[in-house]
């Protein structure tokens, strides 16, 4: 079968001679129609980060990334009941394998869910990051009129904005921060009220001008109770990590910072505001099973438009170009159209 093979940082190729996997007991084999390139895949592509968790080895030794995909069930493993060959499904794997024609998926509500009618395979390949956004918003427990900042508006940060808007949460300002103008433009299109390009100057001053400031014995802050860090730490980018800026921005008391973005190694930041302001800092890793279903239902109902976030589509044969494109400033989400028929 055809499969992507991650070789080294900056080098990924397509192989046509990979062994088709066989589902183990409790698994199904999925014929993949579409697979997304995730931000974590880019961390690996840049500097080998998370390689042991993002690429599944074939018997030939090929390392196949891809953990967010959609397709049809091609085969049932021993003991699997309640599923049928040919069903349209979304799959999520913990260690890659989805950038290939076939991949095995355990049958459990965290990793396998049925696709509703009216949702394309290309859209469905973005289900997992949409569910990630739903979990982050749930954890933030946003209250009426609270201002919100979203650091990093790739597919995850944009999904956070879509989750807020689709659920009718009566937020105050929603400020998107990124260094790529194409992503900031898309954030405004889907529901952000304001954007800040971090390349243009002091982020604290820009956000404070939008949301106002707070001042007291705890110091000076922006009026931003809720911050989503969907950027993490990218080693080659200049300036303080977003988490440090988030700690400066977050409200003087009662603030919540939800961290999702990946970290390319250790980093040094000023942690003083943690003591001064007493914010709650929460990690967010994945989603609840019902949020996979909710993400698909939001797509089916037209409450979120995931197609608008897909900036580029490539066949598996062009896997190297697809990864290079996802690294470009004009790319929002790159999806691999594995069988070049993923519209149905």
Which pLDDT score is estimated for 171?
97
Q: Would 192 be classed as within a structural domain?
A: yes
What's the CA angle centered on 239, arms 39 and 237, to 5 degrees? 35
Domain identity same for 139 and 241: yes
Half-sphere exposure of 10 (CA within 13 A, CB side): 0
Which pLDDT score is estimated for 209?
98
Domain identity same for 69 and 173: no
Please state the domain count of the chain: 2
Q: What is the DSSP string of 181-209?
A: HHHHHHHHHHT-SEEEEGGGS-HHHHHHH
Domain that holds residue 96: 3-126+306-337
Residue 89 CB contacts under 8 Å (≥ 6 apart), including other chains: 28, 30, 70, 71, 72, 73, 105, 112, 113, 114, 115
- Neighbouring C-beta atoms of residue 81, cutoff 10 Å: 7
Does the pLDDT at position 329 exceed 80? yes
Domain identity same for 202 and 272: yes
Does the pLDDT at position 262 exceed 90? no
Domain identity same for 157 and 190: yes
Does the pLDDT at position 268 exceed 90? no
Which pLDDT score is estimated for 234?
74
Which pLDDT score is estimated for 342?
46
What are the tens digits of pLDDT across the range 17-35? 999 999 999 999 999 999 9
| Res. 263 pLDDT band, cuts 50 70 90 | confident
Domain identity same for 196 and 226: yes
Does the pLDDT at position 338 exceed 50? yes
CATH code for the domain in which residue 189 is found: 3.40.50.720
Across all residues in the chain, what is the average pLDDT? 94
Which pLDDT score is estimated for 270?
86
Which pLDDT score is estimated for 218?
86
| Res. 235 pLDDT band, cuts 50 70 90 | low
What are the tens digits of pLDDT across the range 51-79? 998 999 999 999 999 999 999 999 999 99
Q: Who wins on pLDDT, 342 or 340?
A: 340
**Residue 266 CA from chain centroid, whole number:** 21
Which pLDDT score is estimated for 315?
96
Domain identity same for 271 and 313: no
Smallest Cα–Cα separation from 128: which of 70, 41, 88, 44? 70
Domain identity same for 114 and 163: no
Does the pLDDT at position 98 exceed 60? yes
Please, are residues 227 and 259 in contact by the beta-carbon 8 Å criterion? no
Q: Would 299 be classed as within a structural domain?
A: no
CATH code for the domain in which residue 311 is found: 3.90.180.10
Smallest Cα–Cα separation from 97: which of 20, 39, 26? 20
């Amino acid at each position: 079968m055809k499969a992507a093979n991650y070789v080294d940082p900056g080098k990924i190729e397509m192989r046509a001679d990979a062994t088709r996997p066989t589902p183990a007991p409790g698994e199904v084999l999925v014929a993949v129609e579409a697979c997304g390139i995730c931000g974590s895949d880019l961390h690996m592509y840049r500097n080998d980060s998370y390689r042991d968790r993002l690429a599944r080895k074939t018997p030939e030794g090929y390392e196949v990334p891809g953990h967010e995909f959609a397709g049809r069930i091609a085969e049932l493993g021993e003991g699997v009941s309640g599923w049928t060959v040919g069903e349209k499904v979304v799959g999520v794997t913990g260690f890659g394998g989805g950038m290939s024609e076939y991949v095995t998926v355990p049958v459990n509500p965290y990793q396998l869910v049925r696709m509703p009618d009216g949702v394309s395979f290309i859209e469905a390949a973005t289900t997992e990051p949409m569910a990630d956004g739903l979990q982050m918003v749930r954890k933030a427990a946003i209250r009426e009129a609270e201002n919100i900042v979203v650091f990093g508006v790739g597919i995850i940060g944009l999904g956070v904005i879509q989750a807020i808007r689709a659920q009718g949460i009566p937020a105050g300002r929603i400020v998107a921060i990124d260094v790529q103008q194409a992503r900031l433009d898309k954030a405004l299109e889907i529901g952000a009220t304001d954007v800040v390009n971090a390349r243009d100057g002091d982020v604290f001053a820009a956000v404070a001008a939008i949301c106002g400031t707070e001042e007291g014995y705890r110091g000076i802050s922006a009026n931003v109770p809720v911050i989503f860090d969907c950027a993490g730490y990218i080693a080659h980018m200049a300036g303080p990590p977003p988490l440090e800026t988030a700690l400066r921005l977050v409200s003087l008391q009662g603030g919540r910072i939800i961290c999702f973005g990946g970290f390319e190694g250790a980093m040094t930041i000023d942690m003083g505001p943690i003591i001064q302001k007493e914010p709650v800092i929460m990690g967010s890793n994945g989603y609840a099973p019902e949020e996979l279903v909710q993400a698909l239902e939001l797509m089916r109902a037209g409450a979120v438009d995931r197609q608008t976030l897909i900036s580029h589509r490539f066949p598996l044969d062009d896997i190297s170009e697809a990864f290079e494109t996802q690294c470009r400033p004009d790319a929002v989400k790159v999806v691999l159209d594995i069988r070049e028929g993923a519209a149905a």
